[in-house]
């Protein structure tokens, strides 16, 4: 199964999760036992602030040609309207480091982390956030824009909102519930529109999009009409409401639909972050969405979620039919410390991408989450998403078998039954039914 010669093979990380010691971020004061699993905070992360280059070397050696990373607003602007030239210089070096290694950077401006001073002002529950976000974006464009061909404004805005305002698993903004959530989404949309136009006016050739967390939501097997109705509500809200708003320029909140100035058409691509399938029941649990799966489901570490590769194809098909734009798989992965499932996961999810491309669905690249194990938000270091294992205490690295498999895939732009035979024999019959004899070659 071969991929187009211009396909982007990437991995993804975010600043707070890998840089370490982001003291001006709201996560820094939040992360403590009780708020995160385990007793280990982000600490030095993966030591990227000092030496991201070591892991960029690994990404290049793995055969990838792209990397998705984010900028830490709280480093670039540690106090309102005070920009830090040293932090900007460090990001220039990291971005140049990507280019030097043949890794095209895709840069996220906001990935789940706020400057503390912004939180004090009410962040996304205060209209002033829009001007601050516009100015932060303008600064980044002026200082780093020449190194950034692809941008993501805000990572997973709906998930971010749900985690903060409904589940309360992320740093506490002091407001909760649906009213505060919709107010924040509304302001995030305005921030997105402001950033989109700021970037495009300066660099019309760069591509700007968002990374949307899109999962398969179905009524639990044997569920009733209410369960099915609820699954539809969640699907529309969680998967579709954000990209739909960028498409139409309107957002449907609690008090009906609202038009947002200069929002319509503000995307050059759609980013899909796909992880799993959820079975839903009505009424929902107090935490809004609970992981649930069928009896035969293959489930990743710590009950994170079901491995459901076909869902990636379903999301690609859904997005292709709704939006006329290129698609990037901006995240896809699973927590799997022992690398028990990851090789098969990789092969089967990439097979879904290949399948979609063979139907001319416009998937232009794939960024695996993640290059290295990193600080997994409220789950601390208890969930390991890395192709490469990291010991956060010693900073030692070890390639998991999946990293070697991904290397073979990236270098050959293909998936083969021979790879499956060596890395995930259980997938042979799934992916190449009746074609196993060739694997002995």
Residue with token string 């732009």: 413
Measured from the CB of residue 204, what is the shortest distance to ligand FCB in angstroms?
28
Is position 136 an interface residue for ligand FCB (rule: CB under 6 A)?
no
Strand-strand pairing, 8-12 and 104-110? unpaired
Instruction: State in angstroms the smallest separation of the CB of 14 from ligand FCB.
Output: 5
For residues 346, 363, 19, 306, the Cα torsion angle rounded to the nearest 10 degrees is -40
Tell me if 27 contacts ligand FCB by CB under 6 A: no
Site for ligand FCB (CB under 6 A): how many residues?
Answer: 11
> Rounded CA gap, 157 and 112, in Å?
8
Q: Which is nearer to ligand FCB, 108 or 266 (CB)?
A: 108
Q: Which is nearer to ligand FCB, 14 or 417 (CB)?
A: 14
> Which residue from 14, 64, 187, 320 is in contact with ligand FCB, where contact means CB under 6 A?
14
**25 or 416, CB closer to ligand FCB?**
25
Beta carbon nearer to ligand FCB, 47 or 213: 213
Burial of 204 (0-12, 13-18, 19+ CB in 10 A): exposed
Strands 216-219 and 277-280 turn out to be parallel
Among 159, 212, 215, 266, binds ligand FCB (CB under 6 A): 159
Q: 291 near 304, Cβ under 8 Å? A: yes
Q: Which stretch binds ligand FCB (CB under 6 A): 79-87, 128-136, 152-160, 222-230?
A: 152-160
If the CB atoms of residues 339 and 376 are measured against ligand FCB, the closer one turns out to be: 376
CA distance 161 to 277: 20
Question: Toward ligand FCB, which CB reaches closer, 108 or 416?
Answer: 108
Give the x-and-dash track for 224-263 against ligand FCB (CB under 6 A). Answer: ----------------------------------------
Contact between 345 and ligand FCB (CB under 6 A)? Answer: no
Nearer to ligand FCB, 114 or 159 (CB): 159
Q: Are 285 and 234 in contact (CB under 8 A)?
A: no
Residue 233 CB partners (closer than 8 Å, separation 6+): none
Q: Which of 341, 355, 315 is nearest to 405 (CA)?
A: 341
Applying CB under 6 A, does 381 fall inside the site for ligand FCB?
A: no
What would the x/- binding string for ligand FCB be over residues 303 to 332, using CB under 6 A?
----------------------------x-
Q: How far is the CB of 160 from ligand FCB (least distance, A)?
A: 8
- Under the binding rule (CB under 6 A), the answer on residue 369 touching ligand FCB is yes
- Using the contact rule CB under 6 A, the part of the chain among 57-65, 87-95, 153-161, 396-404 near ligand FCB is 153-161
213 binds ligand FCB (CB under 6 A): yes
CB of 376 to ligand FCB, least distance (A): 6
d(CA 316, CA 319): 5
| Residue whose token pair is 């990838």 | 64
Token code pair at residue 138: 């303008």
CA dist 16 and 30 (Å) reads 13
Q: Which is nearer to ligand FCB, 273 or 417 (CB)?
A: 273
CB of 301 to ligand FCB, least distance (A): 12
Residue 159 or 198 with smaller CB distance to ligand FCB: 159
Distance separating alpha carbons of residues 345 and 212, to the nearest angstrom: 20
155 binds ligand FCB (CB under 6 A): yes
User: In 3D, which of 430, 424, 384, 432 has the Cα closest to residue 408?
Assistant: 424
Q: Output the CA–CA distances (angstroms, integers) from residue 284 to 23, 178, 288, 290, in the order listed.
A: 36, 14, 6, 8
Which helix (H) or strand (E) segment holds residue 200: the answer is: helix 177-202
Task: Considering the complex, state which of residue 331 and residue 348 has its C-beta at the smaller distance from ligand FCB.
Answer: 331
CB of 218 to ligand FCB, least distance (A): 20
Residue placing its CB nearer to ligand FCB in the complex, 218 or 376: 376
d(CA 166, CA 377): 16
Between 273 and 302, how does the x/- string for binding to ligand FCB read (CB under 6 A)?
A: x-----------------------------
Q: Write out the DSSP string of 133-160.
A: HHHHHHHHHHHHGGG-SEEEEEE-HHHH
Cα–Cα distance measured from residue 74 to residue 89, given in angstroms and rounded to the nearest whole number: 15
Binding-site ranges for ligand FCB (CB under 6 A)? 14, 155-156, 159, 213, 273, 331, 369, 376-377, 385
């Amino acid at each position: 199964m071969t991929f187009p010669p211009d396909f982007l093979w990437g991995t993804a990380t975010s600043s707070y999760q890998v840089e370490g010691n982001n003291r001006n971020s709201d996560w820094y004061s939040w992360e403590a036992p009780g708020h995160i699993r385990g007793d280990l905070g982000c600490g030095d992360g993966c030591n990227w602030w000092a030496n991201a280059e070591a892991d960029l070397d690994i990404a290049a050696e793995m055969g990838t040609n792209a990397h998705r990373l984010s900028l830490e607003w709280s480093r670039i602007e540690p106090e309102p309207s005070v920009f830090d030239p040293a932090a900007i210089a460090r990001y220039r070096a990291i971005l140049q480091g990507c280019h030097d290694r043949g890794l095209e950077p895709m840069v996220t401006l906001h990935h789940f982390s706020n400057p503390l001073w912004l939180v004090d002002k009410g962040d996304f529950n205060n209209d002033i956030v829009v001007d601050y976000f516009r100015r932060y974006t303008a600064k980044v464009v002026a200082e780093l824009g020449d190194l950034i061909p692809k941008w993501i404004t805000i990572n997973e805005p709906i998930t971010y909102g749900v985690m903060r305002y409904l589940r309360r698993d992320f740093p506490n903004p002091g407001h909760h519930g649906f009213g505060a959530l919709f107010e924040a989404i509304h302001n995030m949309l305005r921030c997105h529109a402001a950033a989109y136009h700021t970037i495009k006016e300066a660099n019309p050739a760069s591509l700007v999009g968002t990374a949307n967390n899109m999962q398969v939501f179905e009524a639990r097997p044997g569920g009733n009409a209410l369960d099915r109705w609820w699954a539809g509500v969640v699907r529309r809200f969680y998967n579709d409401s954000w990209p739909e708003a960028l498409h139409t320029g309107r957002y449907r909140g609690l008090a009906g639909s609202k038009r947002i100035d200069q929002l319509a058409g503000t995307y050059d691509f759609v980013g899909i972050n796909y992880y799993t399938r959820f079975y839903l029941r009505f009424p929902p649990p107090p935490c809004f969405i609970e992981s649930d799966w069928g009896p035969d489901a293959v489930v990743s570490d710590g009950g994170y979620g079901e491995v459901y590769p076909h869902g990636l194809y379903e999301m690609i098909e859904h997005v292709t039919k709704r939006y006329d734009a290129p698609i990037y798989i901006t995240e896809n992965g699973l927590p799997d410390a022992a690398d028990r499932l990851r090789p098969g996961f990789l092969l089967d999810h990439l097979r879904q991408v290949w399948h979609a491309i063979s139907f001319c669905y416009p998937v232009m690249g794939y960024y695996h989450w993640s290059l290295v194990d990193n600080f997994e938000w409220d789950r601390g270091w208890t969930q390991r998403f890395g192709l490469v294992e990291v010991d956060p205490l010693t900073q030692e690295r070890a390639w998991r078998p999946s990293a070697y498999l991904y290397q073979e895939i990236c270098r050959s732009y293909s998936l083969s039954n021979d790879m499956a035979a060596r890395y995930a024999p259980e997938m042979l019959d799934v992916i190449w039914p009746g074609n196993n004899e060739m694997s002995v070659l």
